[in-house]
Structure 1
Amino acid sequence: MSLSAESASGRSRRTPELLVPALLGGVILAYFALPFLTFLSRTGTANVVSGLTTPNAQVAIRNSLITAPLSTTIATVFGVPLAYVLARRSFVGKRLVEALVILPLVVPPVVGGAMVLTAVGRFTPIGSAAAAVGISLTDSLVGVVLAQTFVAAPFVIITARAGFGAVDERLERASRSLGYGPLATFWNVSLPLARGSIVAGITLTFVRAIGEFGATMMVAYNPRTMPTRIWVDFIAGGIDAIVPLGVALLAITLAVLAAVQRFGRVPTVIDR
């Protein structure tokens, strides 16, 4: 039997085995696609362009495009080093640290927002101290950033940790043996090798931050971001009223994912 015939025979034997998983997977894929298609079909009944040119919509878009990148930057600057420590070191209290990282992912966003309020609210010691120097930690863009960072930062920490964990430690030891210090080794060896996972984590963090509603609503209902503006518009005018901002938010997230897939390596996290 020729090689091509053997290959075809192998594929034919695998087809029945994959039929049931493929059908089950097709059901969930159809469920994912249906809401997108039905929502986008309503763009014909709503003037998206005119909806996005209203002052309220433009303010919400501006606020989201200011706060989400800032939240993502904060999460990355502080989260990636933590991810490296968790991937490379064992220490007393490590399980507690891991639990703290996961906690914002498992609590409902509204509860997360309430937690942030108990820490930095207007009448807390931190909130009062900030207010004394003219900084409001709630009902401000600062409050939005605090809420977004709380719920979104775990994504970059968890994915970056997976990336660092996949880096062969022998390469880091080789770098150290050549005279490079810990920081130089981290910057020139560990960070580039874990780049794919880190980029994926940054992407997930940004998408989570820009779409955050529950925690943001609790900490900073004003000024409006895109998700909170969508909620207000929905209460006032129903589904058609939120189509413009909904389409804009979807377009931003898809553009970010497309850019990262073009210049980064998002699939590395999924492949792991």
Structure 2
Amino acid sequence: MSRRSAGGDQAVSSSSPEGPDDHRPRFTASFEWLPTGLAVPALLGAVLLAYFVVPVAVFLLRMRAVDLVAGLTDPTIRDAIRTSLVTAPVSTTIATVFGVPLAYVLSRGSFRGKRLVEALVLLPLVVPPIVGGVMLLTIVGRYTPIGAAAVALGMPLTGSHAGVVLAQTFVAAPFLVVTARAGFDGVDPRLEEAARTMGYGPLRTIRLVSLPLARNAIAAGIVLTFVRAIGEFGATMMVAYSPRTMPVQIRVSFIARGIDAIVPIALALLAIAVIVVVAVQLLVGTPKQH
């Protein structure tokens, strides 16, 4: 059947689902909660995110079959946790004290050999950690001039907490330099010039203008550096197999007793990393969206 419109001969089918009086809900495959154009990138990113989350979730489920209290009270595991908690903050502090100034120089400076310096900063990132450990041994090993002098003074640089710090700093400090430099690159140089016109000296300008504006990037670098340091295995194993850090102890326990033996210490390592990330976020905050 059909009906005539008031103006003439056009007919509208009364059974058409597209009629003017049809208010039935229609399904639309749209992502209204995403900005336009982000649906496909979000789908692809979700695949990678799932790859990150699923192993963590399965690992946490395995906790139910393991006696965590007994594991964490094991003296060897407690010693490994204590060693990591002592050395990783020291390594991170060293990287911050020396890395932030280097990042600022690379961001603001223009000098001959700058490209070489940038490449040297990235070198520990591209060298396998175990190879980095071998390189360190050629400098601080017991039979090298520096290593022998340290042993003579009663402060060996291998097989000690100092060796752990050296290994962690070597592999982790570049994360701080790279991230902090990105933060300084994002600071408008005109703001620093304005501070200079107000009578601020170079160091005061950096302290009151540059550092506060780049603080989020620096904080991110500190987090990355700490997490990398506390999770370092290859270089640490070469330079200071003992005292054992958490990653080294995880390897030893896995070889000796299997995967269930490493669940308590691996959980402790994960918990420490999460606590540090959350603490820095609360203290520094996240970058604001403009």
Does the TM-score normalized on the shorter chain lie above 0.5?
Answer: yes
1:19, distance to aligned residue in structure 2 (A): 4.3
1:15-164 aligned within 5 A? 18-164=38-184
Counterpart AA for 1:205: T
1:121-270 aligned within 5 A? 121-265=141-285
Query: Given that residues 200 and 266 in structure 1 are in contact (C-alpha distance below 8 angstroms), is that contact kept between their aligned partners in structure 2?
Result: no
1:65, distance to aligned residue in structure 2 (A): 0.4
Instruction: Find the aligned partners of 1:48 and 1:88 in 2 and give their Cα distance.
Output: 50
Instruction: Find the aligned partners of 1:60 and 1:202 in 2 and give their Cα distance.
Output: 22
Query: Given that residues 156 and 205 in structure 1 are in contact (C-alpha distance below 8 angstroms), is that contact kept between their aligned partners in structure 2?
Result: yes
Counterpart AA for 1:144: V
Counterpart AA for 2:243: P
Query: Given that residues 87 and 164 in structure 1 are in contact (C-alpha distance below 8 angstroms), is that contact kept between their aligned partners in structure 2?
Result: yes
Query: Given that residues 197 and 265 in structure 1 are in contact (C-alpha distance below 8 angstroms), is that contact kept between their aligned partners in structure 2?
Result: no
Instruction: Find the aligned partners of 2:156 and 2:56 in 1 and give their Cα distance.
Output: 38
Query: Given that residues 31 and 39 in structure 2 are in contact (C-alpha distance below 8 angstroms), is that contact kept between their aligned partners in structure 1?
Result: no
Counterpart AA for 1:84: Y
The CA RMSD over aligned residues, in Å, is: 2.0
* Cα separation, partners in 2 of 1:71 and 1:245, compared to 1, 3 Å: same
* Cα separation, partners in 2 of 1:130 and 1:266, compared to 1, 3 Å: farther
Query: Given that residues 87 and 161 in structure 1 are in contact (C-alpha distance below 8 angstroms), is that contact kept between their aligned partners in structure 2?
Result: yes
Counterpart AA for 1:176: R
Instruction: Find the aligned partners of 2:242 and 2:185 in 1 and give their Cα distance.
Output: 40
TM-score (norm 2): 0.85
Query: Given that residues 152 and 205 in structure 1 are in contact (C-alpha distance below 8 angstroms), is that contact kept between their aligned partners in structure 2?
Result: yes
Counterpart AA for 1:201: G
Instruction: Find the aligned partners of 2:192 and 2:38 in 1 and give their Cα distance.
Output: 41
Instruction: Find the aligned partners of 1:17 and 1:66 in 2 and give their Cα distance.
Output: 47
Instruction: Find the aligned partners of 2:65 and 2:201 in 1 and give their Cα distance.
Output: 61
1:26, distance to aligned residue in structure 2 (A): 2.1
Query: Given that residues 139 and 219 in structure 1 are in contact (C-alpha distance below 8 angstroms), is that contact kept between their aligned partners in structure 2?
Result: yes
TM-score (norm 1): 0.91
1:23, distance to aligned residue in structure 2 (A): 2.9
Instruction: Find the aligned partners of 2:287 and 2:123 in 1 and give their Cα distance.
Output: 25
Counterpart AA for 2:194: A
Larger radius of gyration: 2
Query: Given that residues 105 and 154 in structure 1 are in contact (C-alpha distance below 8 angstroms), is that contact kept between their aligned partners in structure 2?
Result: yes
Instruction: Find the aligned partners of 1:194 and 1:23 in 2 and give their Cα distance.
Output: 32
Structure 2 segments unaligned to the other structure (5+ residues): 1-27
* Cα separation, partners in 2 of 1:198 and 1:16, compared to 1, 3 Å: closer
Instruction: Find the aligned partners of 1:11 and 1:210 in 2 and give their Cα distance.
Output: 40
Instruction: Find the aligned partners of 1:261 and 1:66 in 2 and give their Cα distance.
Output: 22
Counterpart AA for 1:64: S
* Cα separation, partners in 2 of 1:127 and 1:22, compared to 1, 3 Å: same
Identity rate, percent: 66
